[in-house]
Structure 1
Amino acid sequence: MSEISIRREHRLGLPRARELAAKWAEDAEEQFGMSCRVEQGTEADCIRFARPGVEGTLTVAGDRFELYVKLGTLLAGFRKRIETEVEKNLDVLLAREAPRLEASRAEAERRAKKEG
């Protein structure tokens, strides 16, 4: 069995990270036929996903995403290609959030100056 492990740091906070993870799970179900189950926690969530030949978890925290995937024998030969695609998709998802996050921070700073 082949394994993939990916970790990405972020500054989204848990509520927004949960929203992105929910979108990720929805896409995984629609595009790849994955069965996803969310286990919500106070500090982090765990999304367990599976389909024939693939199983794994996506840990969703306020400051990071941790993805762990086990590939079955038939998909093990495609491990590098799958890993590259997953990394790219996760990086694109986080890159889209960067401008939104910076705008929110700038707005919070403006409000603080105005109030203070």
Structure 2
Amino acid sequence: MSDIIIRRQHGKSLAEARASAEHMASELNEEFDLSYHWDGDVMRFKRPGVAGDLSVDDQQVALNIRLGFLLFALKPTIEREIHRFFDENFPS
């Protein structure tokens, strides 16, 4: 297993941050068939070979992803794509 951990400060309200996270998850669902659900302010998601959570609060967004063995080789590509999604949805 390989982990990707990303933390980013944002200048949004909690509601705005959650809406941005929802938008990001919706795009990921369409593009990668990623299923997700909210548990309070934590979004839990999964698909074969990937599982994780995205938590939002009034100051930061935190992403934790666990990649399965078969996706380990794609970790740099996946990480770049995640940063792109963060740049679009949670600009610094």
In proportion to residue count, which structure has more helix? Answer: 1
Q: Deviations over 1:59-94 (max 9, x none)?
A: 011111100000001100111111111012201222
Aligned to 2:80: 84
Structure 1: stretches of 5+ with no match in the other structure: 99-116
Q: Which has the higher contact order (CA 8 A, sep 6+)?
A: 2
How many aligned positions are there? Answer: 92
* TM-score normalised over the length of structure 2: 0.93
Task: Kindly report which structure 2 residues correspond to 1:36-51, keeping only aligned pairs within 5 A, or say none.
Answer: 36-40=36-40, 45-51=41-47
Give every structure 1 segment of 4 or more consecutive aligned residues whose post-TM-superposition deviation is greater than 4 Å: none
Q: C-alpha root-mean-square deviation of aligned residues, in Å?
A: 1.2
Matched, 1:33 2:43: no
Identity between Structure 1 and Structure 2 (%) = 37
- 1:75 aligned counterpart, secondary structure: helix
Matched, 1:72 2:68: yes
Larger Rg: 1 or 2? 1
Task: Kindly report which structure 2 residues correspond to 1:53-72, keeping only aligned pairs within 5 A, or say none.
Answer: 53-72=49-68
